[in-house]
Structure 1
Amino acid sequence: MRTDEVLFSFSLFSLVLYFQLCSTGDTLKAGQKITTNPLENLVSSNRTFELGFFPLSGSSSDVKSYYLGIWYHGLEPQTVVWVANRVKPVPDSSGVFRIAEDGNLVIEAVSTERYWSSKIEASSSTNRTVKLLESGNLVLMDDNLGRSNYTWQSFQHPTDTFLPGMKMDASLALTSWRNSTDPAPGNFTFTMAPEDERGSFVVQKQSQIYWDLDELDSNENSQVVFNFLGNTATRGTRSHNFSDQTIFTSKPYNYTKSRLLMNSSGELQFLKWDEHEWEKRWSGPADEYDIHDYCGSFGICNRNNHIGCKCLPGFAPIPEGELQGHGCVRKSISCINTDVTFLNLTNIKVRNPDHEIFTETDAECQSFCISKCPLCQAYSYNRSTYSDRSPFTCNIWTHNLSSLVEEYDRGRDLSILVKISDIAPTAKTCEPCGTYEIPYPLSTGPNCGDLMYKFNCTKSTGQVNFMMPEGISYQVTRIEEDTRTFFIQADASYSCSLRRDQNNTPNFPFNVVDCIQDFGIVKFSWQPAPEPPCNRPMDCMNWPHSTCRETRCHCDLKYRWNNSIMSCTQEEPSREHLTHRLALILTVILGSMAILACITAFVLVRRKKKAHKLDRASTQIQESLYESEKRVKGLIGLGSLEEKDIEGIEVPCYTFASILAATDNFTDSYKLGRGGYGPVYKGTFPGGQDIAVKRLSSVSTQGLEEFKNEVILIAKLQHRNLVRLRGYCIKGDEKILLYEYMPNKSLDSFIFDRTRTSLLDWPIRFEIIVGIARGMLYLHQDSRLRVIHRDLKTSNILLDEEMNPKISDFGLAKIFGGKETEASTERVVGTYGYMAPEYALDGFFSIKSDVFSFGVVLLEILSGKRNTGFYQSKQISSLLGHAWKLWTENKLLDLMDPSLCETCNENEFIKCAVIGLLCVQDEPSDRPTMSNVLSMLDIEAVTMPIPTPPTFFVNKRHSSSASSSSKPDIGQFESSYQEGR
């Protein structure tokens, strides 16, 4: 007996010791750990919650993934409320949960790989303790700070479940599981609405609003849920009321074993344990109509029936697809007071307004909305709803209306701006009733439609009702004009089988098409309408080819009523009439065929002759191309050029006859324009190639030397911003140059034309400026020859079909060899207003002379004004002086062409204006090179030198001593040069 007692005592001691070693209770200290062994789990003090590792549910593999989570202790099935490593599960059973050396909570494996961490400030692990509270909150405490101060807690990092005791604020979000068995983050998130939204909570699907909880259902369970969240929701001083009325419950609610779950299907559920299972006390969204923007813009639905979405009166479905997810657009738009009205709807659920103001009356609110057309889409006037809480009575919507639901218990009275003609009644159709358009022949009043197809409209509620022969009225839920059908909502007493037997009721133009007894939905069709009703001749004015006889608009002679299109159409002719008509048609056809055969033969003969003529012209062109290089050498006399330069010339020479054929003998209808050198024609070569033909007149200032110069230069220069020479011709006194055809002509035809200047917005002008700069850089630096153009101006900048600039007219250009960059001449040629001062006055030119011309062109592009002929005042007689004066006054934006105001980038504009002033400085050495100019244009933020006063604005004796690093006094300047035309 004594031996048994000793054995029993030893067994009891061993069992107690085992549980002390294996179970850690509700607390985990430094040096302790939790593994996948269930006996090591933490259990709260009253054994409500448990923390430990659990495997991925539904895994059929022998090797399972493990998660660390918290679940209700002892409940079946296991109900997990929090997961730590939901993003990265432990791939096997070697997982360990412990307090790391840096004081963080971590999940690790045998391989020391870390799968999760609390990521808080490092501290000694010996001072920290983990405890699972009875509320389900896992807390990390620092012994130095006291037990009531939590260094970290799971309630601030929830997964998909909200528990009693949590604080719902802006930083808290519930993210659903990927599916019912996988804890990884899913598609749905429950969180507080953004600050700019008036709603309190939202459910998002992949970062887009899926459900907006800005309204509160009236049942008691939903009030309990929102009290559950609302009583703990704080965000500064912001109020979180969930409806327009204060929420009260009849008695305090026991939230023990209650939770709010964001499930993987997008449903937010409030669950409470009821002895053996979780009972769903509330969930949302209640149906698909609660989903945000379910019907799209200006689409509306009714949750009291199952018909789906429809467009509001005055709107039409977006044609890309079905109504769901796309919505509707206005049939037409107008902001003229006499052309617009409001579609007045009642009990409408709509998203929160975009603006709120105070107005005394509904009429003031309506007038404010019309004054903001086309921004204002709708308004709602609240006479007393907010009188005790808000000073705002007029709600305005400026964005498209979405999430519209009719017959909503706490809905608004909503007035939507529409064009009168889109909803106004006509002799054929009645005005809309609420959200329902009433097509002909349906009638809701004595003066519209056909009274045989009578319906009733309740304007106060916007509902359409249908009266059965026995006098019972049913609510209409949908009307489809295209299929001549409508739907009614019937009650349980409605018998589908009996109604189908009544389809042949006399004088009843409606038939039952379908009936769904379970949902109480009955689909009717209406018979095609007979001739329209009338009481007087004027009633038939809107029905062409008809006359009022007795009580109907009967069709006139040779017309008959077509009930499919509801109009009078011509009768089909008799058989005898058809025979006679067929004979007449055959006669006409045969005669027409004979005439057509003659015309075809004539056209073929003429085309053959023309083809022969074109072949001869093409042959002549080919022969001339064969001799082109030889004729260029003989024409130009290139004694000063090396042999290698001569061999590279590839300028085709065309015969004068081929050019006459291409321009139809220089007909005026082919003329594109005229300059000092002569007219320019459009020509077309065989094969359809368009060219520009520049015919130098005998009195042209561009002589033979300039003509030769241009042929050589353009043949050697190849750049996307230089015009291409296609060929040339010389015969007697005729000197002709053939260029690539530029359909948009020259730059000056746009910027100096008040109607066409708006076609060049700022992005296009900036690209033109950059393109000209690139072309000039190529001439000065990047080409095989160093070329000074000497006649750069807006009329010499041509624009192709894509508005790309191309520099043209190289007749005055000079070629430099080696590193030469300047020269002088006694013959000054060019265009005043664009000529550099050292060239115009002293005959000295260089690449800086072209820079000056570029600066003038740049300022003309910015201002839309010519430098020549510009007059601002007696002190300022040039565009350059005007620009300089605006720069000294820090008003460079006043230089802007008015047509650029809407599209201009102000920083780019000011940069370009300063570059223009740098280019037109009086001293050539102060001007930048084209390489510098292009760098300043390409770099967004660039430091530029301060310009000195421009040429022709400062007296020559002042300019030579002016500083290049400071702004001179405007009082020192005077005009010393009167520009030519």
Structure 2
Amino acid sequence: MRTVLSFFMIFLFYASSPYVAQVSEALDSITANQSIQDGGSLVSAGGTFELGFFSTGLPSRRYLGIWYKKVATMTVVWVANRVTPLADSVGTLKVTGSGSLVLLNANGSEIWSSNSSTDARNPVAQLLDSGNLVVKDVDGTGSGFLLWQSFDYPTDTLLAGMKMGRNRTTGFERYLTSWKSIDDPSPGNFTYKIDPNGFPQSLLRQGSVVKFRSGPWNGVRYSGMPNLDPNPYYSYEFVLDDDEIYYHFELLDSSFISRLVLSSNGIVQRFTWIDRTQGWTLYLTVPIDNCDTYALCGAYGSCKIDESPVCRCLTGFTPRYSQEWDILDWSHGCVRKTPLDCGKDIFVKYPGVKLPDTGNSWFNKTMDLQECKEICKKNCSCMAYSTLDIRGGGTGCLQWFGELIDIRELNQNGQDLYIRMAASESDLLQSKQTKQKLFISLAVSFGVVSLCLVLTFCILQNKRKKMKHLKGDNSECQKEDLELPVFDLGTVAIATNNFSEENKLGEGGFGPVYKGVLEDGQEIAVKKLSRYSRQGLHEFKNEVLFISKLQHRNLVKLLGCCIQEEVLLIYEFMPNNSLDSCLFDQNQRKLLGWSTRFGIINGIARGLLYLHQDSRLRIIHRDLKAGNILLDNEMNPKISDFGSAKCFVGNETEANTLRVVGTYGYMSPEYAIDGVFSIKSDVFSYGVLVLETVSGKRNRGFCHPDHCHNLVGHAWRLFTEDRSMELVDELVESYNTAEVLRSIHVALLCVQQCPEDRPSMSALILMLGSDNELPLPKEPGFYNERKLLPESTFGHLVHSPNEVTMTSLSPR
């Protein structure tokens, strides 16, 4: 009996000891008599989340946070002391007798507190399997009164069950704040919160400047997020009642893991965990394109991403300052052509749009659309109205007062907006719309017929088999209508000084490229189809059919074409030329600091993600290389040259071709050898491009005194020997070590031999933008040491300005 009693007393001693809380991973809670020190942790009952101490970029900065335990170690979802890190590894978390959580440093000074003091009798801090850290006053039955919870104080992540919004009675607000950088969890410059003014909507701000607006909730989704569709894995809801305004989501499948994150560069991303790949996959992102930029087209302007330029005035409106509008400065928006006359005004329907900014709006949940119209018509200050809730045929009324801002035309899930117009505009509007439809039909028909005639003529001139090849290449992707502005040949000739040699920028497979300046001062780049180009026709067709449909900040913009005598493509001009002209030039390379290079690496990744996943067409570039990355005046990268691109339809993920077109040093093994290409082919090319950007050296032709590997092989050797930092360009004076190592690690994951081992672009962007632990890469493709041959050995191939481009040869 004494032995049993002694054992029981010893058990009680250790069970209540703070030391146990430091070392036992089984504990999910601590009481006022316990604490956790650096090295100890709490683990939720189901093992999903862990709370403890961690470091990011600098080991000397320690934080208390919560991260995933079961699936992705160190994917941090909440940070307590993000403003004041611990200066060493001596930190203690404890629960005070009054029910507050406090974090103490080595001197016992308080550096963070939950400030939840109350008259608690038995306070307990517990980490729940939802990721919520709660403090409860527990009674004798085991239940308790909630004193504080981390879900009320989110950092950059919204988990299932969390609310983003505010209490309308107390004014208490929950919102996301970005990390300062990927390795600095202190509050960054971006916030994502619900604006309660008018009808509530979510706003993404950089400082005080609005960068993106979700649009109002329409009962199914946010008006400005048409891709937010119901799914079987999680539900989402927007709640607006007398007490609260908030958005939240709930998991419908307990095995499904998802989180919403505001990244340090101001992008809202939803990630889902994929067990098969053991990684996070990007499911949704905003903003997604230029038309998501808040108020891009100004008041009464409308943005349409499939058009160039993307901004136009709504019908019945004209640019406020036409000269600024013509040089693509749309910030001042548009004004009415005809002033309003309140008693005689009409309402014109604008279908399929993202509803304008609701900051100055009024709503009623019970009215029907006709009642909404009548009330708006009687109020001379009411500028527009729409249905509030689109479910069940539509209910409710939403009205706007003041200028209508941030409208965009949507290809799917848009809403009808009724805008107040002068009665005299009625007949003119109907007549103009009819004429516009007729003009567009004739213009498109004429353009397509003219293009076909030009192509047919060129094809016949270059052999009948060429025509047979083009006919055989007509896929579903090529059934898209052409929507390109047509330039007059004389205008382009004047702009390029009649295509003079002084204006020539270079030459590719399509033909020569010239710099030009239009009459309004806009700089352009003009691609001219060479009469002697074997691949020019195919490239021209691809450029017109693909890039005219693509609009993204990291893709070069196609402004229009010309098919009069000459076949021309007109692009925006990139003042800093191509990446290879900067990266591989001894003098220019010095201008590429690490922050610029890392921005280029991330920008190219975002452009590829758009091509592979977010664009209307699913595009495989097939010739991604430094020469096809153009740099604007701020050194932002833009992917160009879609002459070799291929489009996938439906659920296609892989294809085979007898016509292998690409560039030595960038092509994946399966594509170069077997002609098999997929999105993973582009991933391989991207990996090579990252290594070149880090090192300032070309993959092809790379030489090293210790071995005969190319740059990829050299990077692999350094990685396996834990010497990756030796790969950094010697001309880079300062850099972020964590970013460099992560970039090289990610690049080696991209160039693995097997396509199945390479990450998708969505997973890759996550890897670059977080501090998650990365999987170890396997041996890269083309790793065998090669025997370097004289450059003349490759003389029979067609040379581009900086690289060798390979294509299968057709018999003459």
Q: TM class by shorter-chain length? A: 0.3 to 0.5
TM-score normalised over the length of structure 2: 0.46
- Bigger radius of gyration, 1 or 2? 1
TM-score normalised over the length of structure 1: 0.39
Tell which has more relative contact order, 1 or 2 (C-alpha 8 A, sep 6+): 2
